[in-house]
Structure 1
Amino acid sequence: MEKNILIIGSGFAGLWSALSAVRLLDQHARADVQVTLLAPQAELHIRPRFYEPDVHNMRAPLLDLFEATGVRFVQGLALSIDTEGRQVVYRKAEGGEGRLRYDRLVLASGSQLFRPPVPGLAEHAFDVDRIEQAALLERHLHGLGGQPESVARNTVVVAGGGFTGIETATEMPARLRAILGDGARVRVVVVDRGAQVGAALGEGIRPAILEASRELGVEWRPGRTVAAVDARGVVLDDGQRIDAGTVIWTVGFRASGLTEQIPAPRDATGRLQVDNHLRVAGLADVYAAGDTARAATDELGNFSVMSCQHAIPLGRHAGNNAAADLIGVAPRAYSQPKYVTCLDLGAWGAVYTEGWDRQQKLVGAEAKALKSQINTQWIYPPAADRAVALAAADPAIPVA
């Protein structure tokens, strides 16, 4: 009977899990194992770019790639996972439910933005977490051009001063002026609970964030949180009101809710604890990759973060090791000791750092060129050519 490696999710981790599993099976001439990928669409959404304009272009079709590499694609939304019966129930694209059995499962269903019960947040705030939400924001921004001039129309509040919040905020002045005119008096305000500007990213990267913010006119409200949102702006926890026609929430991410169906330890963000082969703790036939996995990246106590920097190699290792375990060959231990950050800072440029303490290596235009290369080339899927795609799925490939 043909065996099945089932991968849930077509994001960075899911895509590379599928290709890596096929690669190993190919190397061992195993035609008796099927690699199946379950996802709502056969598309890779380029989520790291959703803070940019023209978000509708930030999706990469995958059907040709799957056909070229022999990955079976099933369109549907995973609903439940039965680890004892080794099957997944999913909602079919055309309606109704289906079931997929597995011999090995790779959970790569990603993460989503966490929206706390802040009054008015659900009704009035935008985000850049999903392509659909980012497209809603873009339509809203373009609609501002048809509104009468006002302080609120020209003001954007970004809640959260982490990676996503900073990239969204520093891109916003150029996006607003492209719509409202070069002479528009735009205002962008970042509200962040950290005591200092860019507190979540540390001292090494802060000088660049400060300089970029000053040059771009991005204001900060450190040590503050958004207490309420309405159609005309926000109220902060100290009672201060900021009139704004646009509020963007970027605070906090949680692993896919499917992790709650796996009987295994999870961290505070819902990520599953995995060993160095990315097998979920206590389960012999379940692996996790990308934002659903809490994986040690080195022997110094550092763990993967929710980013494509870790999702891609985690996927390559998880798919490889699920296949290796199924056919009885040696797995490959995941290790990714090099950690880098390339933070886009809008028209000012970017900043590139190395190490968990984020030591600055490139800044300004030079870092911006690197960021552009990452965003437009490195994170996109390979060509729909079997040999090229499988070679690119080798878990031995170093990825910063």
Structure 2
Amino acid sequence: MSQRILVIGAGFAGMWSALASARLLDQVGRTDVEITLVAPEPELHVRPRLYEQNPLGMKAPLQEIFKAVGVQFVQGKVQNIDVARQEVNVIGVGADTSHHTIRYDRLVLAAGSRLFCPPIAGLKEHAFNVDQIADAAVLETHLHSLAERPASVARNTVVVAGAGFTGIETAAEMPARLREVLGADEAVTVIMVERNAEVGPDLGPGPRPVIIEALTELGVTWKLGSGVAAVDATGVTLENGERIDAGTVIWTAGARASELTQQIPAERDNFGRLHVDRNLKVKGLDGVFATGDCAYAATDDDGNYAKMSCQHAMNLGRSAGHNVAADLLGEPSIPYSQPKYVTCLDLGPWGAVYTEGWEREVKLVGAEAKALKTKINTEWIYPPSADRAEALALADPRRIVVA
């Protein structure tokens, strides 16, 4: 009877986990182990690009790649994980209302993350976001509908809640997108709201002068030191009592690991990520690995931990996939290590800023950095072709994709 490696999730980490497991099975000539991946759709959603236009086009098919390397795809959504029984319960998606159980010998939880929405009055009812493709598509439809509304300051105003990575990239795009809809000469207002005292609080002081310069030239402004207290159909109220009338409010403030991590009886961090060892095995559990945004994983021996980012998810996936198969087969593991850290922040029509190291030393700015960002977003993060040899070669956990 064959054994099964079960991967939950078809994001960057899940896709590369499945391919890396297939790579090791191919190398050792094992055909008695089945790799099964469960996800709602056989496609990679390119979430790092959802602040851009045309979010419905930000997906890449995976079925042919999976067929080429021998990964079985199961369409559905995991509802329950039973670690003791080594099985998961899967429910259908869309019109499919079926329920079935999948047993596993080894599990890789790569279910990603979701936007964190605190209990702020009116947030879910009135705010937009760019967390998932469907969400970003709703925002795009809304932006195009603004042209049908009577001209007003509120109609022409966008509030972006959160001045972190996603908030900055989203805000930098908004002036041009609004003018494309409302007219090139229309006066538009884009305001970022951030509870912290600085723009880009998590990005540190290194790139901040570049970010400030770019946003200022783009016409983006910000209000610091007070978060959003309430959202309604006509704008936001800040915690300090200030009112901003706005026809569009976009929430970008933070993410949390998939709720499925709550079903794993193990330690989690403040973002819901499971504590894992250097092989990405969940600490205290046999046969369960976590990766991508579900894993609180050390990137090096200097105290740095992976961010909830595509940059780390791709290699976390390769490492988890290799090591879960190695654990099952008794083959040598390859501990996850990704000591080089880079940041490439899109700043809309102005350009971009590229930094290296955890201190984020600026290396490229403007058009030069934008060219790199475009290459990252349109080439480097996309899946390989459905060529078996190429896909398996690219799944090597020692392959680190950085600039």
Fold match (TM-score > 0.5)? yes
Cα-to-partner distance string for 1:175-230 (whole Å, 9 max, x where unaligned): 11111111111100000011122222110010011001110000010111011111
Aligned residues: 400
Rounded to whole Å, the distance in 1 between the matches of 2:281 and 2:141 is 42
Rounded to whole Å, the distance in 1 between the matches of 2:198 and 2:6 is 44
Identify the residue that residue 37 of structure 1 maps to in structure 2: 37
Cα-to-partner distance string for 1:331-383 (whole Å, 9 max, x where unaligned): 10100000000000011100000111110000000000000000000000000
Rounded to whole Å, the distance in 2 between the matches of 1:307 and 1:200 is 13
Rounded to whole Å, the distance in 2 between the matches of 1:398 and 1:339 is 10
Rounded to whole Å, the distance in 1 between the matches of 2:283 and 2:178 is 47
- 1:12 equivalenced with 2:12 (yes/no): yes
Q: Which amino acid aligns with 2:334?
A: R
Identify the residue that residue 308 of structure 2 maps to in structure 1: 306
- Which of 203, 218, 222 pairs up with 2:205? 203
**Correspondences of 1:154-303 after superposition (within 5 Å):** 154-303=156-305
Aligned-pair identity in percent equals 63
Name the SS for the 1:116 alignment partner. coil
Rounded to whole Å, the distance in 1 between the matches of 2:265 and 2:238 is 39
Rounded to whole Å, the distance in 2 between the matches of 1:385 and 1:95 is 34
Q: Which amino acid aligns with 1:76?
A: G
Identify the residue that residue 109 of structure 1 maps to in structure 2: 111
Q: For the aligned residues, what is the CA RMSD? A: 0.7
Name the SS for the 1:152 alignment partner. coil
Q: Judge conservation of contact 2:10–2:42 (CA < 8 Å) in 1.
A: yes
Name the SS for the 2:337 alignment partner. coil
- 1:65 equivalenced with 2:65 (yes/no): yes
Name the SS for the 2:148 alignment partner. coil
Q: Judge conservation of contact 2:130–2:252 (CA < 8 Å) in 1.
A: yes
**Correspondences of 1:79-90 after superposition (within 5 Å):** 79-90=79-90
Q: Judge conservation of contact 1:177–1:183 (CA < 8 Å) in 2.
A: yes
Cα-to-partner distance string for 1:46-76 (whole Å, 9 max, x where unaligned): 0000000011110001111111111100000
Rounded to whole Å, the distance in 2 between the matches of 1:26 and 1:182 is 56
Name the SS for the 2:315 alignment partner. helix
Cα-to-partner distance string for 1:249-294 (whole Å, 9 max, x where unaligned): 0011100000011011000110000000000001110001100000
Q: TM-score, normalised by structure 2?
A: 0.98
Q: Which amino acid aligns with 1:216?
A: L
Rounded to whole Å, the distance in 2 between the matches of 1:64 and 1:149 is 48
Q: Which amino acid aligns with 1:227?
A: A
Identify the residue that residue 26 of structure 1 maps to in structure 2: 26
Name the SS for the 1:265 alignment partner. coil
Q: TM-score, normalised by structure 1?
A: 0.99
Q: Judge conservation of contact 1:69–1:386 (CA < 8 Å) in 2.
A: yes
Cα-to-partner distance string for 1:71-124 (whole Å, 9 max, x where unaligned): 100000000101110000010231121110000000000000011111111110
Identify the residue that residue 120 of structure 2 maps to in structure 1: 118
- Which of 358, 369, 372 pairs up with 2:371? 369
Rounded to whole Å, the distance in 1 between the matches of 2:54 and 2:316 is 29
Identify the residue that residue 98 of structure 2 maps to in structure 1: 96
Q: Judge conservation of contact 1:5–1:36 (CA < 8 Å) in 2.
A: yes
Q: Judge conservation of contact 2:164–2:199 (CA < 8 Å) in 1.
A: no
Rounded to whole Å, the distance in 2 between the matches of 1:28 and 1:369 is 40
Rounded to whole Å, the distance in 1 between the matches of 2:340 and 2:254 is 24
Deviation larger for 136-145 or 89-98? 89-98
Name the SS for the 2:76 alignment partner. strand
Q: List structure 1 runs of 4+ shifted beyond 3 angstroms.
A: none
Please report how far the alpha carbon of residue 149 of structure 1 lies from its aligned counterpart in structure 2 after TM superposition.
0.8
Q: Judge conservation of contact 1:64–1:384 (CA < 8 Å) in 2.
A: yes
Rounded to whole Å, the distance in 1 between the matches of 2:163 and 2:202 is 7
Name the SS for the 1:145 alignment partner. helix
Q: Judge conservation of contact 2:159–2:190 (CA < 8 Å) in 1.
A: yes
Q: Judge conservation of contact 1:161–1:200 (CA < 8 Å) in 2.
A: no
Name the SS for the 2:37 alignment partner. strand
Rounded to whole Å, the distance in 2 between the matches of 1:327 and 1:200 is 41
